[in-house]
Amino acid sequence: MTAGSSAKITIVSGSSRLESRVHAVVGLAAETAASAGATVEVVSLHELTLPVMVYGDRSQDDLPGVQTIRRHAAWADGFILCTPEYHGNMSGCLKNWFDFLYEELAGKFAGVLAVTGGGGGDMSITAVKTSFAWCHGFTLPYHVAARAVDFDAEGNLVNNMVADRIRRVAYDVVRYAPLVHGAFEEARRLGPGVQAGVAGAHT
């Protein structure tokens, strides 16, 4: 039994297209998290055709895609969030995923992965971490971006250093997610008082 064997990890593939290099990165992260002992679920946003979130439109609550992302998010202790970098930011579909969620992410833990054309990925990674933090989630202080040159013509990730960084993120999410989520749930049980810290805002 490994340290992370009780971890429930949802991996979000944040591309809106089937041909994306994001899927190779998600596959490696999923394989690594599973081999570390986690139960892993992958949410592929290109398969869900989520509408743009309309604040206050309760009819969106009944849409299968919305129910799917909320169920996978509520189930998880932690997340590995993978985004293509679009204009120095996360993809629109990953931001839309965030906009449908809030309580489901509070007190959870996330690692962030990016795929870029050639940039270092800092902008999109920071954007994902900022949105996760604004949902009262905690993020791993380590991350990785795979650039176009790190893949071969068939879309396979061929840069071993980048692959190892992805594995490192996956191992750490499996390691820390149950601890962070467990501590948050314990704090939440204290009620709304200040001693519960940020969890008191979610009672």
Ligand X SMILES: Cc1cc2nc3c(=O)[nH]c(=O)nc-3n(C[C@H](O)[C@H](O)[C@H](O)COP(=O)(O)O)c2cc1C
Residues near ligand X, by CB under 6 A: 15, 17, 20-22, 84-88, 115-119, 148
- Length in residues, the chain: 203
User: In whole angstroms, how close is the CB of 105 to ligand X at the nearest point?
Assistant: 24
In degrees rounded to 5, what are phi and psi of residue 83?
-120, 145
Comparing CB distances to ligand X, the nearer of 19 and 57 is: 19
User: In whole angstroms, how close is the CB of 142 to ligand X at the nearest point?
Assistant: 20
- The Cα 117–Cα 85 span in angstroms is 8
User: In whole angstroms, how close is the CB of 25 to ligand X at the nearest point?
Assistant: 9
Task: Tell me the two tokens of residue 106.
Answer: 């509070």
Comparing CB distances to ligand X, the nearer of 146 and 196 is: 146
Task: Tell me the two tokens of residue 15.
Answer: 């591309």
Comparing CB distances to ligand X, the nearer of 81 and 180 is: 81
Comparing CB distances to ligand X, the nearer of 29 and 106 is: 29
Question: What ranges make up the beta strands (E) of the chain?
Answer: 8-13, 39-44, 78-84, 109-116, 138-147
User: In whole angstroms, how close is the CB of 104 to ligand X at the nearest point?
Assistant: 26
